[in-house]
Each structure stands twice: as structure tokens, then as C-alpha cells.
Structure 1
Amino acid sequence: MAGRVRGAAPPRAIAAGDVVAAFSRVLAEWTAAQIVHVDAGSERAAVLELDWSGPEPASVEDLGEVSPLRLTHHSWDGGLSYCNYEWVLPRSYKVIGNLPPLHDEPSRSYSTGWWLGDQLARQRRWDAGVREDPVDPGVAAYTGAEMNDLLGEPAEPHTGIRILNVGGVESLDCERLVRRFPNVTDLGLRGDLGLLSAAGSLNGLGSLRRLHIVDLFGMGGDDRLLPQRVPALEALLLHSVPAEYAAAMRSAWRREVPNGTFVDIRGARKPEWVAENRDNPLRGWGDREQISGARVKKAVAQYRSTRRAVMAALAEEPDGDRRARLVEIGRRYGEAFNRLDGRSPFIETVEREELFAALDLIVDEAEAAHGSAMPWARESLASGVDTVRDW
């Protein structure tokens, strides 16, 4: 959801041929790109980066003779720096004029977020003989456990961190996070039905330009970000968050889309969904376009049936029969998902890994219940699956 009617014009006026300019932090200069095509159906803009940087331009004349940026760094072979972005022009970008399109073919690359300047900076380093990207002291990444340990120690605020990502969050106090990292401009928080507390404190990040929250809960409507508190926000990405929080954020930011804030809110969850899916390792399948709701229900039912069978076998079968029984359970699991995949397959690399991870989760639970490691149980289940699976 980006607060607009699908098929309408871009929220900020852009058209084919428009040249846009933006300040690039990595270049410490302004840079520019041309809009080659605007697609109302996909709500995407094909953007061609220009081989230019310099002081802030007032018009296209300030760029001089322009040419597309071609990339030869790392594995690039001279192709254009050309990508489809969401068609919401970020609020810090500006249109400085229009030129005849420098390219007329469609782009096959897609990205969320306009990152003008990053490729030009890499290309210039490469041309100067620098083969490794420098370590950016302003970028930091932690696990949820590492972050909680860090926040539990007395320390001065880390004012130099601009880009902060925290993954695997089980619980996180946003008030302490903001106090420790007050100048963050790009914040990513990912959990697995984890809990965020004091999420309203994120309004204290006055320079925030991008917020991405995935699979975290505990936030209510009063925790919404307020446009007057974070006026520079250009991207609000929420996926699998409380329904009340999602609705409040959507309401607060819908009117900011025409000003250059891209809003993508999906997977608003009610408390009942959280309760039902806390022990469901395949819950993410419900948000994938290629997997129908009926298939998701059958997949979850099969997982739960397999879990019951494994737990019963490990609790009741004599030691000598356990391996054979688990191989058979694995075989039935594999056959069930062969049938579910059917004539229009949807199980690809990610789904295949998740199906095996779901079996590992069952064994983890059994090991905790029995107080002993069971590597042979994992091997037996996987062996049974591998004898029959088509995915």
C-alpha cells in the first residue's frame, strides 16, 4: 500500500525524459539520473543513472554534456546502471529538467529504494584501482541478542551510526535504542514474532529517512511515527506487524506520499493470527503471491500432522524402531508436498529450505523435551524426504 489509486499518475510528478538530481552521501556531491519510462501498471519508474556528480544543479544545463553511467566494476561487463524503482520520487530528490531519453530499452533490474550515487562511487573507486569497498564506520548490524547486550552496558551515544540493522529480534526496547543511536537515518528491525517495546520512541529519530520493520509486534496505534517528528522520512516499509499499528501508520503517512514518502504496508496481523501462528514455521507462505491460500492451509496442516507423528514416534516407539519410523514419516512428508506442488510448482529454493528447517524445528522441540541430542532423528527424516521429493 502506498496511499494511492493503482493506475493513477505518480504521486510526485515525473515523466519520461525527466532528469532528477539528489545529494549522494557516498560521493559527498550531487548526482543525477534520467527517468526513461514510467509504468502505471507496476507503479515503477525505469531510472538510468548518469555519469555525473558535482555541486547542486539548478537545471540540466548545469550538468553539461551528459552520458549514461556504464559499469565495469567487479562482475559488471560494461552494462548500464539502469533499474526499475518504485515510482514515488523520494522527497530529497528534485526534477531539474527534461532531455530526450538517452536509452529506449526496458530495464530487467528491480530494486526498492532509490540509491543514486552508490554505483557511481563504486565505479570511480574501481577506475582508481581500488578493488575493495571501504568499511563504512557509519553502518552497523547486530543480532537482537547483541543489541540487547550493548544497550545493557553504560556508554555514550553512538552518534556516528547512520545505518543500523538489527535482525533476529526477540525483544527490543526502542527507547534505549534511540538514546544509544540518536542520529540513525536508515533503521531496519527484523524479528520472528518478536516484541518491540516503546516503539513510539522512534519519533525521537528526527533525521530518519527509512524505516523497515518485519515480523515484530507489541506496537499499538499510539506508537505511530508522526510526520512532524520525522519530516525527512522517504520510505516506510512494514511487513507482518500488528493491525492496529499498521492502520495508524497508514493513516498518518498516506498524505505524505505525494511529498515523497514511499509507503509499503503489508501483512497487518490481528492478535488471533499471532496466537495461531507462533508455532508455525511456514507462516510466511501466506504472504507470497505464488502460493494460494488453499495451499498454505494444506501445507500448515501437513506440517502439524508430521510434527504429531514425529513426537509420537520418539515418545512411544522402541529404540530399534525409531529410525525406520522416522524415515517413513519423512517419506510421507515428501510425498505430501510433491502432491501439493502439483502441476503448477511453487516450491523453489527458499520454500525447500523452509520445509527442511520445519523438520529441524520439530527435532529441536523433541530434543528439548527429552533432554538429549538426536542427530540421527534429523538424518532419518531428511533421508525419507530425499528418497521421494520432486522439489
Structure 2
Amino acid sequence: MSISVGDIYCVFVEQMQKYAACQVTSIPDAASKKSQSLISIVELDWAGETLPDEAELRQMKPLYCDFFFWNNKLDHIYVEATIPKGYIWIGNLPPLITEKSKSYGTWHVGGSFYRQWQWNQIPADKRQQFKEAAKDDTLVQIGGETIRRSTIVIHQQTMRQIHDLSELAKLPCLTRIHTAEASDPLIAYIRSNPFVNELHLDNPSRRSLDLRDTNLKRLHLNAEGVESITLNKELNQLSLWGELSPNLHIGAEEAGRWLTVTFVDSPPLHCGLEQLGALSLHKVTHVDLLPIVQSYPGLRELRLSGKPGTIANMNSTSQLAQLRLFSTQDIFGFSPDEFPNPDQLPHLTALWMDSLPVEAAKSIKTRYKKETVKGLNMSTYEAAQTGLVSQ
């Protein structure tokens, strides 16, 4: 499909259950080798349960965001000049903005619209206090240390010196906390603060962790000894390490449908995340894909990063009917015919395989070449010691 400046595309955003929209604002000079595979797009201030009609199209405007540290900022980025699967051409308007983008990113239209909506749910007075503090470098005393009022992250060293967590109220912009234990006062503080969206826990020292009614988006946790984790609705990234209990149960919204979980080497197979949306395994030594696919049949994204590592039952990937993204790095031990054909992964929009068996790389590149014309974002690279095959 040819792309023109001014084109407007819509995509259905499952988490919102609405369509979102973007506009192509520029197509860099094809004479520039660096930019000829890129276009710039801007997210639009529109969402709807159905595709827009002509009247709605003519009224579309750019989305100006002011969530957290954004201040009347456009989500205007350079992306790959291939329209991904699922994006629908709606029409063409004169470019709604003319300035050049200074940022690079990936196709994720609707993300900023959703984050702006979430921000708008926070009481206006609290949002105003956050914005004012973000510009305030006044020095305050926290746990015996002198830090700026505009500080956004607090580390374990400082947390160890705080005896009364009410001191954290001196930091209206605090969004990220690194600490050891998950004390009841800490959880209560996080529940009372709508801006704390990331928590790192190195030694929770408890068997059960309940984070309901918080506004966390990301949780990084040494889960050794933990048997129950109850997540809040808006959490979208969970990273667990340490020796996991065989009794571990994770309670998440819609059994993990909107969640990305990262494990070291291999995941627990029955932990309450039957509808998990995205799974990432790193430092893999050996993984059998079949039980993973059977335990997490709703995966839309699957990322595997080896130490390097080997894989068994690569062909079971074809059972993931909703798979959109599949990524491997330093994963070996499978033959070319074990990787599914394109018709077995009809929803695949991104296929990134770095450092994989030589023959597999060649075969995958050949079989999936035509899919790139349909919007598949593909890169396949052989292991370095045997040469390189790339798309």
C-alpha cells in the first residue's frame, strides 16, 4: 500500500475497546538512505467505538498530552514506513501539523490517548500540585538526606533511613520507589498516592502481597518466598525473579489479559494467569515451548532471550492463535521446518529473531518475505559466528 502525507489511519485498541487514530505528517526524502524507510506520524485526539465517518474525519485534531512530565506535547514520532496489520486507511487531510518530529518510536497508536485519559481521572488539584512541584528544585529533608522537591525516584538507601513514610509527602512528583521490604505502611502510602506507578522490591519478606487499589503500572519483585500476589487493575508490567514457589498464585485483571510478565529462564505453568497477554523469558538455558503454550494460550506477545539457550517444540507456536509479536535472541536447537508457516500465524505483525540457527534464519526469511508487504515487521539474523542474514 502506498503512503501519502496526510493519510489518516485507525486501529482498534483492545484495552480501550475503541478505535484510535493517527496521521502521516511527513515522508522523508527518499534520497536519504538513513530515512527512506521511515515516516512520521502524530497521534490524534479521537477515539470511537466505530470507525469515523466523514464529518468526524474533518474535525480531527492532534492530541496534545500533559500527563506526568509531558507539557502540551505531541506524540509525534518517526516509525517504520510499513503500515502494520490491523491499521485501516480512513482518508486524507492536509497535515494537521507541519513541524518536524525529533523522536523515533514504534507503531503504538492509542497508547498516549489512553495514558492521557488515565491522567485525567486524577483529581485536578492533585495534578496541579504535581505540575508545580515538577518545576520546583527547592531542597527538602527526607530520611536525613537533602534532596530536591522535584525528585521522581527514591532509592533503597534513603528508604532505609525513613521511619515515618509521611515524609514522602514532601515529594509530590515521586513516581518510582526502590526498597527492600513491602511493609503495610508502604503499601498504604502507595494506595494514597496516584502518581507512584513503579515499585521495586528486593526482599518483600512476606508470603502475600496485595496491591489492589494502587496506581502501579510496573512491579519488579524478588518473589522468593512469596506465594500470593494480587495485582491492581492498571498494572501492565510485572517482572519476577528469585526461586519461585511452586504454590505461587498471581491474581490479575482478566487473568492477566493486559499484562506483560517477565521471568528468568522459565515461567511457572499454573499461577492464575490463564489469559496472559505477553510473556518475556530472559537468561533462558533450555525451554520447552509446548507446556508454555498450553498454559498461556492467549499470548499476543512472546519474547525469548537466551543465555544462550535451546528450545524444544518450536512448532507449538502455531497454537497461539492470537500471537502478534514473536521475538528470540540467542535461541537455538530447532530446525527450519519446526518454525510455523505464515498461514499458521495469521495475526503476526512483528517477527524479530536475532542470532538463530543458520538454516532456520534463511528459511524463515524466505517464507515470510511476502508478509512484509502486508505489514509484517521482520528482522532475522543468523548467529554471528556463521555469518549474517538480515531483512
TM-score between the two structures when normalised by the length of structure 1: 0.62
Residue of structure 2 aligned with 1:118, choices 87, 111, 131: 111
1:32-71 Cα shifts (integer Å, max 9, x gaps): 0000112344301201000110022155534451111111
Report the residue type matching 1:176 in the other structure.
P
Report the residue type matching 1:145 in the other structure.
D
The Cα shift of 1:118 comes to 1.0
Report the residue type matching 1:222 in the other structure.
D
Report the residue type matching 2:371 in the other structure.
E
Report the residue type matching 1:74 in the other structure.
F
- Residue in 2 aligned with 1:73? 67
Larger-Rg structure: 1
Superposition map of 1:160-171 within 5 A? 160-171=275-286
- Residue in 2 aligned with 1:107? 101
| Structure 1: tracts of 5 or more residues without a match | 1-11, 275-285, 288-391
The Cα shift of 1:207 comes to 1.1
Question: Is 1:265 equivalent to 2:362 in the alignment?
Answer: no
> Contact (CA 8 Å) 2:330, 2:383: kept in 1 or not?
no
Residue of structure 1 aligned with 2:263, choices 127, 139, 143: 143
The Cα shift of 1:240 comes to 1.3
Name whichever of 67-76 and 136-145 sits farther off: 136-145
CA-based RMSD of the aligned residues comes to 2.3
> Contact (CA 8 Å) 1:60, 1:98: kept in 2 or not?
no
- Residue in 1 aligned with 2:80? 86
- Residue in 2 aligned with 1:300? none
| Structure 2: tracts of 5 or more residues without a match | 123-193, 196-214, 218-233, 237-255
- Residue in 1 aligned with 2:142? none
Report the residue type matching 1:99 in the other structure.
L
Distance 1:166 1:118, change over 3 A: same
Distance 1:238 1:59, change over 3 A: farther
Superposition map of 1:1-391 within 5 A? 12-39=1-28, 40=30, 41=33, 42=35, 43-57=37-51, 59-63=53-57, 65-112=59-106, 114-129=107-122, 131=195, 132=215, 133=217, 134-136=234-236, 137-138=256-257, 139-147=259-267, 150-151=268-269, 155=270, 158-266=273-381, 268-269=382-383, 273=386
TM-score between the two structures when normalised by the length of structure 2: 0.62
**Which structure has greater strand proportion?**
2
> Contact (CA 8 Å) 1:91, 1:234: kept in 2 or not?
yes
> Contact (CA 8 Å) 1:144, 1:171: kept in 2 or not?
no
Off by >3 Å, runs of 4+ in structure 1: 58-64, 130-133, 155-159
Matched positions, count: 257
CA distance in 1, matches of 2:90, 2:11: 10
Structure of greater relative contact order (alpha carbons < 8 Å, 6+ residues apart) = 1
Distance 1:125 1:158, change over 3 A: closer
Distance 1:85 1:21, change over 3 A: same
1:322-369 Cα shifts (integer Å, max 9, x gaps): xxxxxxxxxxxxxxxxxxxxxxxxxxxxxxxxxxxxxxxxxxxxxxxx
- Residue in 1 aligned with 2:220? none
